[in-house]
Amino acid sequence: MKQERHLPKPRELAQLMRFKSFEFDGRARRLAKAHTIAELRAIAKRRTPQGAFDYTDGAAEAELSLARARQAFRDIEFHPAILRDVSNVDTSVEIFGGRSALPFGIAPTGFTRMMQSEGERAGASAAGAAGIPFSLSTVGTTSPEGVREANPQGRNWFQLYMQKDRDKSMSLVQRAADCGFDTLLVTVDVPVAGARLRDNRNGFTIPPQLTPSTVLNAIPRPEWWINFLTTEPLTFASLSQWDGTIGELLNELFDPTITFDDLAWIRDQWPGKVAVKGIQTVTDAKAVADMGVDGIVLSNHGGRQLDRAPIPFHLLPAVRAELGNDVEIVLDTGIMSGADIVAALAMGADFTLIGRAYLYGLMAGGREGVDRTIAILTSEITRTMKLLGVASVDELNPGHVTQLQRLSPIAREQRPAATSQATTPGRTVTQKRKAASAAVVSSVANPRRSKP
């Protein structure tokens, strides 16, 4: 069909030519282009020296645990309900005796000022502004007093690695309590440091050393080095100084002899809520719950300790079914979007923690970058909840999500039997293993249980 044509009139062109005003603030301009956590990560990688970026981005050995944890969130199917009033969505939750405006908080991260000079102060102040908890690590680069100063009215949590010098450890715990920190996260999955091969290959040390390779790597990233060299030197609440790799430091500091008795003793020293971080089996979840702790954090340490560790998101339904509603369950590892957080809540988590997602924002743009991380996740959470047809976090339940699992365990009786013929009193090793296998239920349960 023939169309009539005419030259556009100036006023018609003027309506189309509406240009945005130029943003002179380079940081704001850069962050505005990031619409996902993955895009913040790409900005962070461009602006951060390789050693610091890889320390954040990497995991243990072949990094299978991290990849699997992220894939588990990709492998979900949502089931939306229609014709629900979702004009207003309530994203707030109760966790460990207090309110959080959003169903996630900032996880404890070590050596944070090596990622970006504003470090924990940026994270704490951003968390306070957003109304969510901030967690300080034992190996953080800001003191408990500094975090309180950055987030004086918000909720601050302290994460404890028990050190060989227990007096020093408990001195830190006492300082956190004196600063009004309301929750203690006792991390139990680091008897020794994981093999973080990226750090070894980069020769990454504390503090970062100026070598020919780091100088070359710094040339396109002058802002990071200027900030690092012109701000206060790195200090750690847990040690006065160190000159070596991070793995060597962790092995030097942390006590591999910690037992359940020690955990009970630590619990009794803390005046507030206590949660155990690093739970990776249903059995251990039940054991610490029976001790009377307030919560657990299902976590494989972001894949940074035991490679091929259990996937926390896959473990979640079984742990919720075992514990019921008596103990609060927090989940971390693998979260890269608000949809991941919504899925975790639907499958039984009371709360989630973000580590790398927060650090990507920090490296991309300091305090404003952390704000951008929180804004992206908030938008994604709100939109996902509305599309699912739920107006509050309490309405989320397992019926909203199906976990599509790629890695299904082989039934134990189908696994090849050991071929060793070494003998033990009465039976061979092979016979004993077969007998043990016969006593184990071969199917893997994945129950669904609604939250209260």
Catalytic residues: 301
Residue with tokens 């619409």: 35
Q: Which residues pair with 186 in a beta bridge?
A: 160, 276
Per this entry, what is the length of the chain? 452
Residue 273 Cα to chain centre, angstroms: 20
Q: Residue 234 and residue 439: Cα distance in Å, rounded? A: 54
State the amino acid at position 28 in one-letter form.
A
The vertex-57 CA angle with 197 and 152, nearest 5°, equals 125
Amino acid identity for residue 361 in this structure? G
Determine whether 315 is exposed, middle or buried from the number of CB atoms within 10 Å of its CB (0-12, 13-18, 19+): buried
**Assign residue 124 a region: left if phi > 0, alpha if psi is -120 to 50, beta otherwise?**
alpha
Count CB atoms within 10 A of the CB of residue 7: 5
Q: Which residue's structure tokens are 């997602």?
A: 357
CA–CA distance, 15 with 9 (Å, rounded to integer): 10
In this structure, the strands spanning 244-245 and 205-206 are antiparallel
Are 47 and 224 in contact by the 8 Å Cβ rule? The answer is yes
**Taking CA 433 as the corner, what is the angle to CA 431 and CA 435, rounded to the nearest 5 degrees?**
70
C-alpha 316/C-alpha 426 separation (Å) is 40
Q: Encoding tokens for residue 252?
A: 């030097």
Give the pairing of strands 295-298 and 156-160. unpaired
Q: What are the tokens at 434?
A: 């077969």
Q: Which two tokens stand for residue 261?
A: 């008795």
223: closest CA among 366, 402, 433? 366
Max intra-chain CA distance, the chain = 99
What the block records as the tokens of 260 is 């359940």
The count of C-alpha atoms lying within 13 angstroms of the C-alpha of 232, restricted to the half-sphere facing its C-beta, is: 7
Tokens of 81: 């309900």
In contact, 186 and 275? CB cutoff 8 Å: yes
